[in-house]
Structure 1
Amino acid sequence: MRNNDPVTSVTRQPEPPASPQLATSPAPGGAPSVPPRLIATDLDGTLLHDDQSVSPRTVAALAAAEEAGIEVFFVTGRPARWMGVVSDHVHGHGLAICGNGAAVVDLHGGPGAHRFVKVRELARENALETVRLVREAAPGTVYAVEQTYAFHQEPDYPRLHMEVPDTLAPAAELLAPDGAAAAQPILKILASHPTLDPDAFLTVARLAAGPRATITRSSPSALLEISGPEVSKASTLALCCAERGISHEEVVAFGDMPNDVEMLTWAGQSYAMGNAHPAAVAAATGRTAANNEDGVALVIERLLGERR
């Protein structure tokens, strides 16, 4: 089992903010302030600096939140094997939502020893049909397949990750009932296009796939992430919160990209980063500083200050 960190597929360049105004409090007219019981934060472009580090200030803020009885969930598009970057900061519960909601993972064992607590897979027939329809709508699309403990890709899929795929084969062969991906659940399919604008590619793919899959993106390039129907960061976070008796009003969420939109909309308080995509800014109830300026820590510090 590999534990390589990603390279380009999850490294975002800051985008011009929709507004120069940053506010670590919810926007006027937003949700009423309810004492938070859970903090849900994206990683890349949000909690992590661009060099993939967690700053000392952010480490201290996360620890202080958990000391105050507020749970912290890392909610990311990353696969479980790329969670080593935060495995030292999971503290008490050690749970993370990975693959845009496709899996809930216990990180207590450390890098390479994670355990899947919940899996929301993409059905094989839906995967095959979505792959076909998106490629018909956007010729030139190439695919990779993420599973619980495996990663496969088509021969022409670009080198976006610091890892060697388990299998190189056309997607139709990988996803066949007797293909290389048959032994494990399919968590996510990655779709890459060499020339399309990322947001245009997202629109085309969503129209082509219809209700067969959830399609989003978190990369600055034309790289889409395809999950099962109704699977998103928000829907899996809602399941985890329901198990704990936590309402959405008691959740504070942070994010920066289109794959965070549902979570930012669902949470009672939510913050788009200073480097966020316009769709994330529109979905959030507030705005904070950029990831490289510890925007998540700024809000947590304010929230904890209000509890004193």
Structure 2
Amino acid sequence: MNDRSPQLPFRLVASDIDGTLIHEDGTLGASTLDVIHALPVPLVLVTGRPVRWLRQLYDQMPEPVPAVCANGAVVYDPHTDEVLRADPLSVDLLLDVTKRLRDAVPDIALAVEVDEGRRFWYEEAWPLRWETDTDLVRVLASPEELTSVPAVKLLARSERYEPDEFAELVSRTLAGFAETTHSSKSALVEISAAGVTKAAGLAWLCERHGIQADEVIAFGDMPNDIPMLTWAGHSVAMGNAHPAVRAVADEIGPTNDEDGVATYLRGVFRL
């Protein structure tokens, strides 16, 4: 990453992807592409996505940029295809957490991101909707296989609850044992090892490059962005953001479909 000149207000831009940087159809707007190309400071993607889901975005960008993936569990360098840091849930923790979840929610469906987020394993009850690469994605042969290796993220679904209700239930069930968050409009909760958040992953990357929290501007739209938005020196919630995100952000920007990140950054950096 490159440093900025002293007169610029921030040394790094951190942005969530889905619901923030890209449109609802998964595309980067022309204005956003222009701003990414013109930014005088580094851009870092900070996302709940696994590493294997970055290619769809990188293929649209002038060049790939570093990414904090899996809600902070993985820090990825696309130029070398190297995971710089991984902080997974251990096998012992997975065993404990999954037992607590199954006891609390009998109909729960579980899945794991393994191999630093390059592979996805899921139970038969999991509603797999779009991933079809059987080399990277597969159904588990048995419930025990779910906890057989460390995972950078555990995912939980239920058909019985509304999204925020389910997130609250899982949070109470795992309080003190693991980090829980959500970024979906369905009853899907994302679970990481204790202390693993978007803020923690971004802070690690920033420290590596001598960048302080108050030199970072961050953008997001869903509850999994809240740790990052409260850590950064300045935070912007998208116009389409979840109410909990709007409540903690320093400012509310335009929506993602209005190229809100680009619009805001044009003003900050006078692009």
More deviation in 146-155 or 283-292?
146-155
Matched, 1:120 2:87: yes
The aligned counterpart of 1:169 is 141
SS of 1:186's equivalent? coil
Question: Which ranges of structure 1 fall in alignment gaps of 5 or more residues?
Answer: 1-33, 177-181
SS state of the match for residue 162, structure 1? Answer: coil
Contact 1:90/1:108, CA 8 A, preserved across alignment: no
In structure 1, how many angstroms separate the alpha carbons of the residues matched to 2:267 and 2:164? 34
Mapped partners of 1:211, 1:171: distance in 2: 24
Structure 1 pair 91/242, CA: closer, same or farther in 2 (3 Å)? farther
1:114-154 per-position Cα deviation (integer Å, ceiling 9, x unaligned): 32111111111111111111221222111011012321111
Instruction: Give secondary structure in 2 for the equivalent of 1:58.
Output: helix
- Report the secondary structure of 2:175's partner residue: helix
RMSD, matched Cα: 1.9
Mean Cα deviation higher: 261-270 or 100-109? 100-109
SS in 2 for 1:155: coil
Q: Distance in 1 between matches of 2:109 and 2:241?
A: 27
Identify which of 101, 113, 117 aligns with 1:146.
113
2:4 corresponds to which residue? none
Tell me the distance in 2 between the aligned counterparts of 1:277 and 1:144. Answer: 25
TM-score, scaled relative to structure 1:
0.80
Instruction: Say if 2:169 is the partner of 1:204.
Output: yes
**Aligned-partner Cα distance in 2 for 1:252–1:200:** 30
SS, match of residue 211 in structure 1: coil
Instruction: Indicate the SS of the match to 2:152.
Output: strand
Give SS of 1:225's match.
strand
Partner of 1:101: 72
Task: Read off the aligned partner of 1:142 and give its amino acid letter.
Answer: A
Letter in 2 for 1:161: W
Q: Distance in 2 between matches of 1:136 and 1:282?
A: 33
> 2-side partners of 1:189 and 1:75: how far apart?
18
Percent pairwise identity: 39
1:1-308 to 2 correspondences below 5 Å: 35-65=9-39, 68=40, 70-88=41-59, 94-108=65-79, 114-147=81-114, 148=116, 149-163=118-132, 164=134, 165-176=137-148, 182=149, 185-305=150-270
Aligned mates of 1:271, 1:142 — CA distance in 2: 33
1:92 deviates by 6.9
SS at match of 1:301: helix
SS at 1:128 equivalent:
helix
Asked if structure 1 preserves the Cα contact closer than 8 Å seen for 2:153 and 2:191, the reply is yes
How far did 1:89 drift?
6.1
The amino acid that maps onto 1:247 is Q
State the AA in 1 paired with 2:253. Answer: T
Structure 1 position 73, deviation (Å):
0.2
Classify 1:50/1:92 alpha carbon distance in 2 versus 1 (closer, same or farther; 3 Å): closer
Q: Which amino acid aligns with 1:46?
A: T
| 1:155 and 1:170 in contact (8 A); partners too | no
Amino acid at match of 1:224: V
